[in-house]
Amino acid sequence: MKPNTDYLNVPEKGMAAYRAPSLLQPHKARQALRDAYHGRIPRMIGYYCGFCDRSSSRIIAQLGADFVWVDWEHASCNVETMTDVVHTIMFMSEGRTMPFVRIPNHDHASIGYALDAGTSVIVPHVDTVEQAKHIAAATKFLDKHGGTRSAPPTRWLGGLADAVVDPTRHIWENQNEQAALIIQLESREGVNNLDGMLSAVGHHIDACWMGTLDMRATMGLDGIWGDEPEFQAVVKQFEEVLRKHDKPNAGPCFNGAWERARNKMFTVVAADFMTLASEKEKIEDARRNLGPLEGKGRKGESSTVSGVSNGVSNGVSNGVCNGIKV
């Protein structure tokens, strides 16, 4: 197989350099993550799509992010909407932005639905080696790869969307190598078991993301980050295990906290919910600066309203309203 040179086209094409032959297939996301980790391309910058609706995803797809994090775990959307959002991102960006779906749980069906949509997956709350093994198997085709994923008969139809990246392999092996798997560690138990997870199925796991909001919540701490010694000890342990296994680190970097992303090659820097929340300040500013109109027809308005009221009252009392007997 010839060496990968996709990264050479990234300055011009963005993530479209890693496009599959069809936009219905996942990008060559595993390769993109490896290239970012080894410094061949800039780190991958993403946008968080928390509301997951068709309309906003059309705009998000055009923002120029390397990837969009589609949060199916916390969005109130069904399988069809998740699939539509994935396809909208792929087609509206013309492949320049790749979708990653955070699935709602570990079940085989949810993993399959997301992968069949043509995306890569982020799996939350991975705590044990057994869970990691199950997740890795659910993302792969073919027994010889330890896979339990079911082949979708209507996804990549022959002659329509079944062209392959590597013609020396059939489509199922190509799909195994295209779609990426990122796991989230969101408890101390998960971090304690991370070494075992990566020893067992690290070859199927493309990056690890510490979910600091849930991590801190399980530790009885507030917020998404902090300097508490017990929290920082977990962060240090997580990073040491990743270095031991030469595994990419991923995580959020909101509000310009660049230092937190110093060693992360896959990071989310903006989000739809944060943009909307910031609009509250504009409304409050308007209330402070735009008071009621002063002395503009208040007396006349009162008089007009009073006249209408009296007219209606008199008409009803006479048994007639607009010529209709009451």
Q: Could you please report the per-residue DSSP string of 224-253? A: S----HHHHHHHHHHHHHHHHHT--EEEE-
Query: What are the tens digits of pLDDT across the range 51-63?
Result: 999 899 999 999 9
CA–CA separation, 157 vs 176, rounded Å?
17
How much is the pLDDT for 312?
42
According to DSSP H, which parts of the chain are helical? 10-13, 29-37, 54-60, 79-92, 108-117, 129-138, 171-178, 188-201, 212-218, 229-245, 272-289, 298-317
Residue 313: pLDDT above 50? no
SS3 assignment, position 183? strand
Q: How many residues does the chain have?
A: 326
How much is the pLDDT for 258?
86
How much is the pLDDT for 231?
97
CA nearest to 267, candidates 95, 100, 19: 100
CB 19 within 8 A of CB 193: no
Buried b (16+ CB within 10 A) or exposed e, 173-212: bbbbbbbbbbbbbbbbebbbbbbbbbebbbebbbbbbbbb
Residue 146: pLDDT above 70? yes
Residue 191: pLDDT above 50? yes
Query: Around 5, how many Cα atoms within 13 Å sit in the side-chain half-sphere?
Result: 4
Number of Cβ within 10 Å of residue 247's Cβ equals: 18
User: Which secondary-structure segment (H or E) carries 101?
Assistant: strand 98-102
Buried b (16+ CB within 10 A) or exposed e, 57-82: beebbeeebbbbbbbbbebebeeebb
Share of the chain above pLDDT 90, in %: 78
How much is the pLDDT for 300?
52
Query: Any bridge partners for residue 267, and if so which?
Result: 45, 251
SS3 assignment, position 286? helix
Angle at 52 between CA 97 and CA 255, to 5 degrees: 70
Residue 291: pLDDT above 90? no
Q: Mean pLDDT throughout 75-98?
A: 96
CA nearest to 278, candidates 261, 254, 262: 254
The label of the residue with tokens 């199950």 reads: 134
CA–CA separation, 309 vs 301, rounded Å?
12
Amino acid at 63: L
How much is the pLDDT for 97?
98
CA–CA separation, 108 vs 150, rounded Å?
9
Residue 218: pLDDT above 50? yes
Alpha carbon 206 to chain centroid, angstroms: 16
Query: What are the tens digits of pLDDT across the range 172-190?
Result: 999 999 999 999 999 999 9
Residue 301: pLDDT above 70? no
How much is the pLDDT for 158?
86
Query: What are the tens digits of pLDDT across the range 271-286?
Result: 999 999 989 999 999 9
Alpha carbon 298 to chain centroid, angstroms: 52
Q: Residue 1's pLDDT band (boundaries 50, 70, 90)?
A: low
Cα-only R_g, the chain: 27
**110-119, 257-266, 269-278: lowest mean pLDDT where?**
257-266
How much is the pLDDT for 2?
72
pTM above 0.85, yes or no: yes
